[in-house]
Amino acid sequence: MPGDETRPGAAPVPDEGGASVPFETPDIYGAYPRLADDQMARLAQHGRRHAADAGDVLIREGERCESFYVVLSGSVAIVEGYGTPDEHLLRVHGPGRFIGELGLLNGQVAFYTAVVRDPGEILVLSMDQLRDLVTRDSTLGDVVLRACLGRRALLVGQGAGFRIIGSRYSPDTRRLREFAARNRLPHRWIDLETDEEAEALLRRFAVDPEQTPLVIWQDTTLLRNPSNAELARFIGLPPLESGNDRGDLLIVGSGPAGLAAAVNAASEGLDTTVVEALGTGGQAGTSSRIENCFGFPSGISGAELTERAVLQADKFGARISVPAEAARLERRDGHYTVGFADGSEVTARAVVLATGARYRRLQVPGVEPLEGASVHYSATVYEAQQCSTDPVAVVGGGNSAGQAVLFLAGFAPQVYLLVRGQSLDAHMSRYLIDQIEHHPRVRVLLHTEMTKALGDKALEAVTVVDHRTGEHRHLAVRALFVFTGADPHTEWLSGALALDTRGYVLTGAQAQACSVPELWQSQGRDCLTLETSLPGVFAAGDVRSGSVKRVASAVGEGAMSIHFVHRYLGHAAAPGGTDSSPYMRPKESAWLA
């Protein structure tokens, strides 16, 4: 096995035997813990011991993993592209280590192969045995969860997983890259125009450039311009269940508000389905670091917060389906039916709308042709990896812009923050302002507005104007990141319920004021605080008119919406319309606490 191969820029990290194993990031995520003796003993009581010979494959790339493996003796290598010309050693696990990453917990296919390097003994547990054990042992559960989350982050940073081959000017290439990034799927983009590897791969698969984009995995699987749904099913993201069973609650959107609603609803016994058009986490899921989120004193990335919430919702039995783009909402036989862009439908007794908001596109000459190539509306590791040698610019004056600036400053040699206002105080938290003002790679340009993007196939510079002096000048930057506010994703709700003048969903007294009096008189009650102009349909988080655009606020509203769902369902079920507000007993825990 070629264990000494490295990618450009990779730094060697010692493996279990002291040898040099290529890895790009030190173990800062707790990704490779060694289990304590007592934890090994508890696992051994539930699993079975298995002799392992050199060359035995425990987990195969591209296939779902059904077992949890702990190394008792010998060693196991983690390999990308096993058995191909591009085979690449990622890590070697010795005694006391366990095998697996996030896909192990959420049912995705594996992004690597685990193969026995030195013969020894392996402890094998089924996933049901693991779930049962960690439910009763929160310390062990936290070790497993933190390691799996950290390993996924490291895989993403390495560009492991499948490859997307396509032109940066292709809308479908941009679509696939965004979908993969928003769902935190390890992958690598190969630019059709600039990457020499692209031509060799096209020849190998006998594909013309006009037939791109392609998704290639292990040189054995080829998807030609797949839809987001096809890619999701290939990776193992859960599909929308067939049929139209009438569940208790449908949550549309899986940002912080939607996931908080899912956790609370499912834990209280409601049959809960969550649907998401693009990727779990919403805008928060793309944030590099959230430092003002309650309960995380050292901050937490949007990706980790999202994955923890998804696993928590799954633990209580909530079903989360991606992608499923809602297209209409209608009342039918005392229930609500949501129709989706692919023609499918889901019917539920109550609905929570948590679709959030989308960043506004920058309406400046020259920007649109460069979107997805040099102009971005999120700042994740995928975009940041392209900014290691050239200056970049960020447009915006809010917290999202501030978080992006600090994250990008860890990659780019210079980051310009372009702000139209006279200070950062109006829309940015003080903790971000303090860090930005003291960062040596960040330069804040106040009273400054971008007027043009320059560049043909890639961004070369931006033109800006200083509104105090009227001076126009060029900034030589190679990437632009835009965070200039957001608009609600409510086009599909127009005409179905009351919206404000900006398209946000009205709730409570404002929603009731837009309804005919007879509607609420027939209900025998007033509109509830987070209820929309349709009884039994609620709104939480950024999509709600008047909401506070913060992660903690969205989480709070998502949780609170379930209180009102219970009140609605209790009122509808009680004789004579009396509000009995029954809370259902929580389900037994099924996964990590």
Residue-level pLDDT at 582: 39
pLDDT at 296 (0 to 100)? 86
The pLDDT of residue 242: 65
Query: What is the SS3 assignment for 529?
Result: coil
Helical packing angle, 37-46 and 127-136, nearest 10°? 130
Strand segments, DSSP code E, in 233-289 are 246-252, 272-275
Domains of the chain plus CATH, in order, are: 11-158 (2.60.120.10), 162-235 (3.40.30.10), 246-358+487-577 (3.50.50.60), 368-484 (3.50.50.60)
How far apart (Å, rounded) are the C-alpha atoms in residues 523 and 119?
Answer: 70
pLDDT of residue 590: 39
Phi, psi of 367, deg, nearest 5: -80, -45
Contact yes or no for 493/353 (Cβ under 8 A): yes
Contact 253, 279 (CB under 8 A): no
Check if the beta carbon of residue 506 is closer than 8 Å to that of residue 514.
yes
d(CA 196, CA 201): 9
> Residue 531 in contact with residue 508, Cβ under 8 Å?
yes
Residue type, 381: V
Nearest CA to 135 out of 107, 109, 105 is that of: 105
In sequence order, what are the residues at sequence separation of 6 or more whose Cβ sits closer than 8 angstroms to the Cβ of residue 489? Answer: 253, 277, 355, 356, 357, 358, 543
Give pairs for 500-506: CB < 8 Å, separation 24+. 500/545, 502/545, 504/543, 504/544, 504/545, 504/546, 504/547, 505/353, 505/532, 505/539, 505/543, 505/544, 505/545, 506/532, 506/533, 506/545
Residue 245's pLDDT is: 67
- What confidence tens digit (pLDDT) does each residue in 299-323 have? 888 888 999 999 999 989 999 999 9
* pLDDT of the residue at 3: 34
Burial of 538 (0-12, 13-18, 19+ CB in 10 A): buried
pLDDT value, residue 293: 84
| Cα distances (Å, whole numbers) of residue 364 to 338, 371, 457, 470 | 36, 12, 17, 18
What would the two tokens of residue 271 be?
Answer: 């049959």
Q: State whether residue 462 is helix, strand or coil.
A: strand
SS3 69: strand
Question: Tell me, what's the pLDDT at 244?
Answer: 61
pLDDT, residue 573, reads: 65
Contact between 235 and 185 (Cβ < 8 Å): yes
Beta bridge pairs of residue 115: 57, 77
Q: Beta 335-340 vs 345-353: how paired, if at all?
A: antiparallel
Residue 397 confidence (pLDDT): 95
**Residue ranges of the chain with pLDDT lower than 50?**
1-26, 28, 577-593
